[in-house]
Structure 1
Amino acid sequence: MSKGYWVTTYRATKDPAKLAAYAQLAPAAVAAAGGKFLVRGAAEEVREQGLKERTVVIEFPTYEQAVAAYDSDAYKKALEALGDGVERDLRIVRGTD
């Protein structure tokens, strides 16, 4: 089975308080689903029209677990807390293993 990854870039933070509330809930929801944070921070270098955005990469044991984590009740609560506090791009991708 292929690993699954969430790859998220934060384009803009509109409400830091909402982002902080999300940050209190999301790590536990991710960990409960078997997720492991690999990257958390702004890009140090950008190439090929890249942007210096905050980037987060989370690895899950399987692609199916990555999808299930996003759909979990615990993560839905984190998303509810986040609301419209940020503009971001979150993709769930399958690993090549």
Structure 2
Amino acid sequence: MTAYVIAHLMPAEPHPDVAEYLERIQSTLDPFGGRFLVHGAPVEVREGDWPGHLVMIGFPTAADARAWYDSPAYQEILPLRADHIAGSVVIVDGVEPGHDSATMGEAMRAAMA
């Protein structure tokens, strides 16, 4: 099942370390099948607050996403970003083919009965 690494990164001033991180990250993703789906595009906020930027990277599986994040290649460059940009990073599974939110609602309704 496809999995995603999602980062909510706070606004920060440009820094040479962050430029180096950006130059090097793709080569850390390639061995794990990672690809950028969203990378700092403007966010249109419809509900709540959303300071900062969104990054979303897709991987074939959650195991691939974890292996990338924990890889020596990524861990080597991670401080280049993390030391200069605060934020949160999560790994989450996508939904199975045929996912139906109505079925989830029915199960929730049954559990509340």
Query: Structure 1 length normalisation: TM-score?
Result: 0.86
Structure 2: distance between partners of 1:75 and 1:57: 16
Q: Which runs of 5+ in 2 are unaligned?
A: 97-113
Query: Does the alignment pair 1:79 with 2:81?
Result: no
- State the aligned residue count: 96
Bigger RCO of structures 1 and 2 (CA < 8 A, at least 6 apart): 1
Q: Can you list the C-alpha shifts for 1:35-71, whole angstroms capped at 9, x where unaligned?
A: 0111112433102113152111000001110111100
Query: Bigger shift: 84-93 or 48-57?
Result: 48-57
**Structure in which a larger fraction of residues adopt helix:** 2
Query: SS state of the match for residue 24, structure 1?
Result: helix
**Which residue of the partner structure matches residue 65 of structure 1?**
64
Read off the aligned partner of 2:21 and give its amino acid letter: Y
**Which residue of the partner structure matches residue 8 of structure 1?**
7
CA RMSD of aligned residues (A): 1.6
Q: Which runs of 5+ in 1 are unaligned?
A: none
Report if the CA contact (8 A) 2:43-2:54 is conserved.
no
Structure 1: distance between partners of 2:14 and 2:35: 26
Query: SS state of the match for residue 86, structure 1?
Result: coil
Read off the aligned partner of 1:20 and give its amino acid letter: A
Query: Structure 2 length normalisation: TM-score?
Result: 0.75
Query: Does the alignment pair 1:49 with 2:41?
Result: no
Deviation at 1:8, TM superposition (A): 0.6
Structure 2: distance between partners of 1:58 and 1:20: 18
Percent identity for Structure 1 against Structure 2: 32
**Structure in which a larger fraction of residues adopt strand:** 1
